[in-house]
Amino acid sequence: MPTLKIGSLTLDNQLLLAPMFKVTDPAFRLLCREQGAALTFTEMTHSEAILRNPRVAAQASHTTPSDHPFGIQVSSAQPDRLIQTIQLLEEKADLFDINLGCPSDRTRESGIGSALLDHPDRVEALIHAMRKATQKPITAKIRLPSRPQDALDIAKRIENAGADGLTVHARTVLQGHSGPVDLDLVAKVKETLSIPVINNGGVWNQETYEYVLHTTHCDGVMLARSAIGNPGIFAQVQGKPGISPVDGLVRYLDHCETYGFLHVGRIKTNCLHFLSAIPKTKKADFSKAKTITELKALAAEVKANQTN
């Protein structure tokens, strides 16, 4: 598989793990990396939360020695606060990404995420601020605007402002996370830019992975929902056997314990994602667990039942 170069960063392959809320914690990122992800991302975190709360800053940049290269994704509408955020976390990350695509009502009402696509001048200022704050690679993640020409215009502005790469979710804001992907428009974005373009959306297996690359000619592919509870997808799209959901669950919990990610509430959310692909499991028992030790015991029981 070809390598992918984003600014000064050279990745081993074209596969990236998307930033996902309550999913891409350090243990899950490491598990996806073991399965073939070349670059992983933290979940989106607002710059104001990072700057105001040291605990949030620590959580946003929590990583492990094996989890590199990895990117920190931030959201902000204020260039000066974005600069401060990146400078605070610069030593932690290998790359910084700004979220310009989150379609949630709460995010849009705050004037961040996909709401910024309606303000291209502000987007340009934010990318300029990121470039001013660091010499490390910077990227942006967008969704497709409702008008095709707007997609090309905003993408070109992002490139001209100094971004080293662009990820395009091939759906509009109104589509959310469902509906058909517009790979033809992503292909036009790719044709317009000289920086690497990464497609997000429409990949569920090796066949769709190859189709997306063939159709868009993108430099890389970012996996999101298809990886939730299924980190083995990173191996599968390369034609290799991926880790099973039950083995993934056990290994995920081992990583949580080994690397000190002990936020039980968040861990249980990921456990339930794994369990959704495992038949005849008692999700209620996992929901009631209060410690990592209890969760590991339950996971061992699930594995034993699957083996018998």
In 10 A of CB 279, how many CB atoms?
9
Model pLDDT, residue 176: 80
Model pLDDT, residue 308: 64
218 is known as an active-site residue: no
- Residue 200: which of 188, 218, 174 has the closest Cα? 218
- Whole-prediction pTM: 0.96
Q: Are strands 4-6 and 9-11 parallel, antiparallel or unpaired?
A: antiparallel
Q: Which of 32, 102, 218, 256 is catalytic?
A: 102
b or e along 204-226 (b: 16 or more beta carbons within 10 Å of the residue's beta carbon)? eeeeebeebbebbebbbbbbbbb
Q: Give the span between the Cα atoms of 74 and 95, in whole angstroms.
A: 11
* CATH number at 4-236: 3.20.20.70
Q: What is the mean pLDDT of residues 88-98?
A: 96
Share of the chain above pLDDT 70, in %: 100
**Which amino acid is residue 76, in one-letter code?**
S
In 10 A of CB 202, how many CB atoms?
21
- Residue 256: which of 241, 242, 269, 243 has the closest Cα? 269
- Residue 267's pLDDT band, with cuts at 50, 70 and 90, is very high
Chain-wide mean pLDDT for the chain?
95
Six-digit token string for 109: 């009402």
- Residue 203's pLDDT band, with cuts at 50, 70 and 90, is very high
How far the first Cα of the chain sits from its last, in Å, is 37
126-152 tens-digit pLDDT: 999 999 999 999 999 999 998 999 999
Q: Where in the chain is the domain with CATH 3.20.20.70?
A: 4-236
- Residue 296: pLDDT over 90: yes
Residues in the chain: 308
Model pLDDT, residue 277: 83
Q: What is the mean pLDDT of residues 269-292?
A: 89
- Residue 222's pLDDT band, with cuts at 50, 70 and 90, is very high
